[in-house]
């Protein structure tokens, strides 16, 4: 990880020197020699870091030396970032001067006279000299380790699979175990008034959680139990948290109760007379007393209820009074090899690598996670020597590592580039079983400087590729996406992988949970903490211990339970933690942003989302020149954005969806032409004069990847839409347009025709469109369109021919209140038309179809029989159909009834539900 930091620092140096040359500015005086020396030292150290990173696992002295190097690297990065910020301020001043006639003349005269501005920064120079002395000592110390320079190969991973294929759902070698477990869960209980406890026991990485999840989701188990609850216990054992999770699962509501006695009483009331299954995953405590209150609450309820526990220790199973133990053994060799082949060879046979592959699998000793990790790694190795290096590596012999599972992870970790290592290790900030949001994680990586753009890729795309690489290497699992989503939203880390990330970063991360007056360390740290996550529950306040920890934090992520008021004194926080790169305060009941926010001069990621009472953002926030992401999603009371927004020259993501009280965009927003995301661009009614930004400014926003516009109907003239030139925004992937405003139906149709997004668009959402038809001439050019949503287009009498969209995977149609009949026109099959092909596939890739609130819809039918020599196939890939609030609809098309694997979710459709019941 020190390797990645050194790379970041050297890039900072190069960037600053380049900018200073371009601007003709010098920001320091008297420290030029030290700057050169720092660069020289870093370059000489960089060549040796790969060897040092490898040796730190078994040589503690090397680990201590790397920790010192990391500390100095962080400090130098802070100084360089401050230096760079001064440059940004000068650039802004220069731009302002250029727009002022008098200052422009003065600047011209100075340039003509050959005057180059020199800005004395004595404080930066002094700090660089001090850090140069520290680095000198570290550079001298390295000599005693005799590090060797390792030539690094190309670490870029060949992209052969997508993330959606990574979540390996086919479980091997556990059919017998699963059947035995399901039988125990469903068996009739004896007449003893004892709640049966079943424990799955086995070493880390053996598949205990996977087996428990298989049983938990089994159809017979689903039908048998009234309530199912899953709790990840982990360390430390926390009775209060476990009781809260149980109660919240039973009620489907967040609990505000804080006392254990009150919680257990409520749990008892909820399960009275019900058959429940409670899974307690990853239990470590051997103290029987920890279980007493919980067991007393659960006993003497339904005799068919069950508790299922997973644990690495048989002592734990005995301590809690287990009725039945399932000792989970290793995977049979044949199953291990089958699992390995599926990952390493994509399920095919490969004679060249078969013999050595079987030897490697044998070293995994039947541990599924080990097999999976190495299979994922070797998938990308094409040379026999690379496989030999894994087989013969001394990593297998390392005694310091826990139980045989760390070696495979080390192989995969060492094979990553230095920056990818840093991206992975950063995930140690999250506690076990935490749901990691992919987009948030990428922005946090970006804020820490781990992502770099190049000529072909933005940082965001690089971040998505990094996520996929780590997923392909089995560092992430449990990928989740909503049914109507086309991309993965979140993931988790296996607890063994999380342990490994903590092992790598034990001096950097600090995660605590606060509940009432209790503070519990979930991830501990020693020395200088750099990243902290704080989980706040109930009536707890922001932990005071964080202030005494240290002032070097670069990340603070606060995770509050719903309806919690942690009483964060934000002015105190920003006053102390001035090194922060990312600050996440989602749903923390913050009411005011202090003017002191300007002290966070390094800040790149600021999340204030779901703080519903914030009424304004101070102008001083616009002094955060390094800010890349501003998230004010669902800040419902916010009435306007600061007029100085244009000073946020590095802003890439303005996440402002749900700020419905904001009626216009500030004029200075026009300067932020580097934006990649605008979640709510408001087209005002024209009453804000020179304060408001016009839609024409979007013409210059060519890097946009996501754009959501509201109030398109407020434009004065249809031709204004032409001015934004959406078709030229080649990177645009997501477009949402709201048509509310004063324009009539005919003008709405003209607006839609003139919008014309680029052909690479993947997601399109149209709301409140007033036209009578919605298939403009450019629609068929959207060959990559994967998701389409049409909301509240109330003038439609017939659905458009959307079946022609060959790449569509998700389609949502909501609020079409005038549609009475849906037929072949929806499929895009014109009567009497002929085709050069003998087969027609309509909606060939559609997986999810939602039809909501179509109050007048009575008939849905279409003909899919042969027309001459043509075969017509409709929706062959459809997996889920959702029909909601269509009270007059009686039948579905016949072929949908014949799709036995189709998941149908029908609600508030009384006539259709009656048909479904009778069929």
Query: 437 has which bridge partners?
Result: 490
Last residue of a domain, one of 729, 758, 788: 788
Question: Could you count the other beta carbons within 10 Å of the beta carbon of residue 221?
Answer: 19
Domain check: are 342 and 483 in the same one? yes
Domain check: are 775 and 802 in the same one? no
Q: Cα 392 to the chain's mean position, in Å?
A: 37
Query: What is the tens place of the pLDDT at every residue in 615-625?
Result: 999 999 999 99
Pair 242, 294: CB distance under 8 Å: yes
Domain check: are 854 and 783 in the same one? no
Strands 629-631 and 477-480: unpaired
Query: What is the tens place of the pLDDT at every residue in 321-354?
Result: 888 999 998 899 999 999 999 889 887 778 899 9
Over 80: is that where the pLDDT of 294 sits?
Answer: no
Query: Which of 40, 48, 44 shows the shortest CA–CA distance to 148?
Result: 48
* Within a domain: 41: yes
Q: List b or e across 443-459, with b for residues whose CB sees 16 or more CB atoms inside 10 angstroms.
A: bbbbbbbbbeeeeeebb
Query: Which of 672, 619, 665 shows the shortest CA–CA distance to 640?
Result: 665
Query: What is the tens place of the pLDDT at every residue in 571-582?
Result: 889 999 999 999
* Within a domain: 275: yes
- Least confident segment among 55-64, 433-442, 777-786, 883-892: 55-64
Query: What is the tens place of the pLDDT at every residue in 226-268?
Result: 889 998 888 777 788 888 888 888 887 777 776 778 888 888 8
Last residue of a domain, one of 312, 327, 342: 327
Confidence of residue 535 (pLDDT cuts 50, 70, 90): confident
> Where is pLDDT greater, at 122 or 694?
694
pLDDT at 163: 35
* Within a domain: 344: yes
What is the total count of domains within the chain?
A: 5
Domain check: are 251 and 316 in the same one? yes
Query: What is the tens place of the pLDDT at every residue in 378-417?
Result: 988 989 999 999 999 888 887 655 544 578 898 999 899 8
pLDDT at 164: 34
**What's the average model confidence in pLDDT over 361-387?**
91
Domain check: are 235 and 280 in the same one? yes
pLDDT at 118: 46
Query: What is the tens place of the pLDDT at every residue in 408-441?
Result: 898 999 899 889 999 999 999 998 888 999 999 9
pLDDT at 167: 45
Q: Cα 206 to the chain's mean position, in Å?
A: 27
pLDDT at 704: 96
Confidence of residue 601 (pLDDT cuts 50, 70, 90): very high
Domain check: are 295 and 395 in the same one? no
pLDDT at 384: 93
Last residue of a domain, one of 788, 821, 856: 788
* Within a domain: 389: yes
**Element spanning 676, H or E:** none
Confidence of residue 738 (pLDDT cuts 50, 70, 90): very high
- Least confident segment among 640-644, 737-741, 872-876: 872-876
* Within a domain: 451: yes
What are φ and ψ of residue 336, in 5° steps? -60, -45
Instruction: Match 């004010």 to its residue by tokens.
Output: 632
SS3 660: coil
What are φ and ψ of residue 189, in 5° steps? -80, 155
Domain check: are 130 and 29 in the same one? yes
Query: What is the tens place of the pLDDT at every residue in 123-167?
Result: 777 888 888 888 889 888 888 888 888 765 445 544 443 333 344
d(Cα 847, Cα 780) in Å, to the nearest integer? 20
Q: Cα 320 to the chain's mean position, in Å?
A: 37
Domain check: are 802 and 763 in the same one? no
* Within a domain: 897: yes
d(Cα 222, Cα 538) in Å, to the nearest integer? 31
**What's the average model confidence in pLDDT over 62-68?**
87
Domain check: are 829 and 779 in the same one? no
* Within a domain: 300: yes
Domain check: are 391 and 406 in the same one? yes
Over 90: is that where the pLDDT of 446 sits?
Answer: yes
Instruction: Look up the pTM and report it.
Output: 0.89
Task: Calculate what percentage of the chain has a pLDDT beyond 90.
Answer: 43
Domain check: are 410 and 462 in the same one? yes
127: containing domain: 2-145
Q: Cα 714 to the chain's mean position, in Å?
A: 35
pLDDT at 431: 87
Output the average pLDDT for the chain. Answer: 85
pLDDT at 809: 95
Domain check: are 314 and 408 in the same one? no
* Within a domain: 523: no
What proportions of the chain, in percent to the nearest 5, are helix, strand and coil?
Answer: 40, 15, 45
Confidence of residue 114 (pLDDT cuts 50, 70, 90): very low
């Amino acid at each position: 990880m020190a390797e990645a930091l050194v790379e970041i620092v050297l890039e900072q140096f190069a960037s600053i020197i380049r900018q200073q040359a371009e601007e003709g500015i010098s920001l320091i005086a008297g420290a030029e020699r030290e700057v050169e020396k720092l660069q020289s030292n870093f370059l000489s150290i960089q060549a040796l870091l790969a060897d040092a990173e490898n040796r730190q696992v078994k040589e503690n002295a090397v680990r201590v030396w790397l920790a010192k190097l990391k500390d100095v690297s962080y400090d130098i990065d802070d100084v360089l970032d401050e230096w760079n910020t001064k440059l940004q301020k000068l650039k802004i001043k220069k731009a302002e001067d250029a727009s002022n006639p008098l200052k422009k003349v003065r600047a011209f005269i100075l340039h003509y006279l050959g005057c180059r501005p020199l800005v004395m920064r004595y404080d930066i120079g002094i700090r660089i000299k001090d850090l140069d002395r520290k680095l000198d000592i570290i550079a001298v110390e390295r000599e005693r380790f005799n590090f060797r320079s390792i030539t690094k190969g190309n670490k870029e991973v060949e992209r052969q699979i997508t993330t959606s294929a990574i979540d390996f759902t086919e479980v091997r070698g556990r059919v017998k175990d699963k059947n035995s477990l399901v039988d125990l869960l469903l068996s009739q209980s004896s007449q003893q008034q004892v709640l049966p406890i079943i424990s799955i026991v086995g070493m880390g990485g053996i598949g205990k959680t996977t087996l428990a999840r298989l049983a938990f989701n089994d159809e017979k188990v689903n039908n048998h139990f009234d309530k199912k609850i899953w709790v990840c216990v982990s360390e430390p054992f926390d009775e209060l948290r476990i009781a809260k999770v149980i109660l919240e699962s039973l009620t489907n509501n967040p609990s505000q109760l804080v006392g254990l006695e009150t919680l257990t009483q409520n749990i008892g009331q909820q399960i009275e007379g019900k058959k429940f299954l409670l899974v307690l995953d990853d239990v470590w405590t051997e103290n029987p007393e920890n279980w007493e209150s919980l067991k007393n609450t659960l006993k003497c309820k339904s005799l068919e209820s069950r508790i299922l526990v997973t644990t690495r220790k048989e002592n734990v199973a005995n301590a809690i009074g287990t009725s039945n133990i399932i000792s989970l053994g290793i995977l049979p060799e044949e199953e291990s090899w089958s699992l390995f082949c599926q990952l390493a060879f994509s399920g095919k046979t490969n004679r060249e690598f078969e013999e050595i592959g079987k030897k490697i699998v044998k070293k995994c000793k039947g541990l599924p996670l080990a097999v999976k990790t190495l299979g994922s790694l070797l998938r990308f190795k094409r040379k026999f020597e690379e496989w030999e290096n894994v087989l013969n590596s001394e990593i297998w012999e390392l005694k310091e590592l826990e139980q045989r599972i760390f070696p495979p992870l080390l192989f995969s970790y060492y094979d990553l580039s230095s920056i990818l290592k840093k991206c992975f290790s950063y995930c140690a900030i999250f506690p076990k079983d935490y749901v990691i949001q992919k987009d948030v994680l990428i922005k946090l990586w970006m804020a820490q400087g781990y992502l770099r753009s190049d000529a072909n890729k933005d940082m965001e795309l690089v971040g998505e590729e990094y996520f996929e690489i780590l997923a392909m290497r089995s560092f992430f699992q449990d990928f989740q996406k909503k049914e109507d989503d086309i991309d993965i939203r979140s993931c988790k880390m296996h607890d063994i992988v999380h342990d490994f990330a903590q092992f790598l970063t034990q001096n950097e991360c600090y995660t605590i949970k606060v509940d009432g007056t209790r503070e519990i360390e979930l991830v501990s740290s020693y020395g200088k903490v750099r990243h902290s996550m704080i989980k706040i529950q109930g009536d707890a306040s922001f932990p005071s211990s964080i202030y005494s920890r240290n002032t070097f934090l670069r990340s603070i992520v606060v995770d509050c339970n719903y309806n919690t008021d942690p009483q964060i004194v934000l002015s105190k926080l920003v006053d102390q933690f001035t090194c922060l790169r990312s600050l996440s305060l989602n749903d923390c009941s913050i009411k005011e942003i202090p003017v002191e926010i300007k002290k966070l001069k390094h800040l790149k990621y600021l999340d204030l989302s779901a703080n519903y009472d914030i009424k304004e953002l101070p102008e001083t926030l616009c002094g955060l020149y390094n800010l890349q992401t501003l998230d004010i999603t669902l800040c419902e009371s916010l009435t306007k954005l600061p007029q100085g927004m244009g000073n946020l020259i590095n802003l890439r993501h303005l996440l402002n969806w749900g700020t419905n009280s904001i009626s216009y965009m500030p004029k200075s927003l026009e300067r932020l032409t580097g934006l990649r995301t605008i979640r709510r661009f408001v087209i005002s009614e024209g009453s804000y004069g020179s304060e408001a930004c016009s839609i024409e400014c979007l013409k210059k926003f060519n890097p946009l990847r996501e754009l959501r516009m509201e109030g398109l109907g407020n434009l004065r003239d249809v031709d204004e839409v032409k001015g934004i030139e959406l078709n030229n925004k080649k990177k645009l992937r997501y477009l949402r347009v709201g048509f509310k405003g004063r324009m009539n139906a005919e003008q709405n149709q003209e607006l839609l025709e003139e919008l014309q997004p680029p052909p690479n668009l993947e997601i399109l959402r149209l709301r409140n469109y007033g036209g009578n038809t919605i298939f403009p001439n450019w629609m068929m050019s959207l060959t990559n369109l994967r998701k389409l949503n049409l909301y509240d287009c109330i003038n439609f009498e017939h659905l458009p021919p959307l079946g022609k969209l060959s790449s569509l995977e998700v389609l949502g149609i909501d609020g079409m209140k005038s549609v009475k009949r849906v037929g072949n026109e929806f499929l895009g099959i014109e009567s009497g038309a002929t085709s050069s092909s003998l087969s027609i596939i309509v909606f060939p890739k559609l997986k999810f179809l939602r039809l909501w609130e179509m109050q007048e819809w009575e008939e849905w039918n279409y003909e899919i029989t042969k027309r001459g020599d043509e075969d017509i196939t409709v929706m062959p890939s459809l997996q889920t159909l959702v029909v909601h609030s269509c009270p007059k609809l009686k039948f579905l098309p016949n072929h949908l009834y014949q799709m036995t694997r189709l998941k149908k979710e029908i609600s508030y459709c009384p006539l259709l539900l009656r048909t479904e019941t009778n069929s």
